[in-house]
Amino acid sequence: MMDWTDRHCRYLHRLLSRRVLLYTEMVTAPALVRGGALHLLDHGPEEHPVALQLGGSDQKELAYAARLGAEAGYDEINLNCGCPSDRVQSGTFGAVLMKDPALVARCISAMREAVDVDVTVKCRIGVDDQDPGEVLPEFLSRIAAAGCTRVQIHARKAWLQGLSPKENRDIPPLDYDLVRRMKALFPDLHISINGGIASLDEAEALLASGLDGVMVGRAAYHQPADMLCAADRRIFGGPGPDTTPEGAVAAMLPYIEAHLAGGGRLNQVTRHMLGLFAGRPGARAWRRILSEGATRPGAGPELVEAALAQVVRAAA
Ligand SMILES: Cc1cc2nc3c(=O)[nH]c(=O)nc-3n(C[C@H](O)[C@H](O)[C@H](O)COP(=O)(O)O)c2cc1C
Strands (E), 163-255: 190-194, 213-215
Local structure of 86: helix, strand or coil: helix
Give the mutation target among 80, 81, 150, 169 for probing the ligand 1 site: most ligand atoms within 8 A of CB. 169
* Spatial distance between the Cα atoms of 162 and 168, rounded to a whole number of angstroms: 9
- Banded pLDDT at 225 (limits 50, 70, 90): very high
Output the pTM of the full model. 0.96
Res 233: pLDDT: 98
pLDDT at 249 over 70: yes
Q: Which residues line ligand 1 (CB under 6 A)?
A: 1-4, 25-26, 53, 80, 82-83, 122, 154, 169, 194-197, 216-219
First CA to last CA distance, the chain: 35
- Decide if 137 contacts 107 (C-beta within 8 A): no
User: In this predicted model, what pLDDT tens digit does every residue of 36-78 receive, in sequence order?
Assistant: 999 999 999 999 999 999 999 999 999 999 999 999 999 999 9
Q: How far is the CA of 312 from the centre of ligand 1 (A)?
A: 32
Task: Write the CA distances from 114 to 48, 80, 159, 255, 286, integer angstroms.
Answer: 21, 17, 32, 34, 46
What rounded mean pLDDT belongs to the chain? Answer: 96
- Decide if 77 contacts 66 (C-beta within 8 A): yes
Local structure of 162: helix, strand or coil: coil
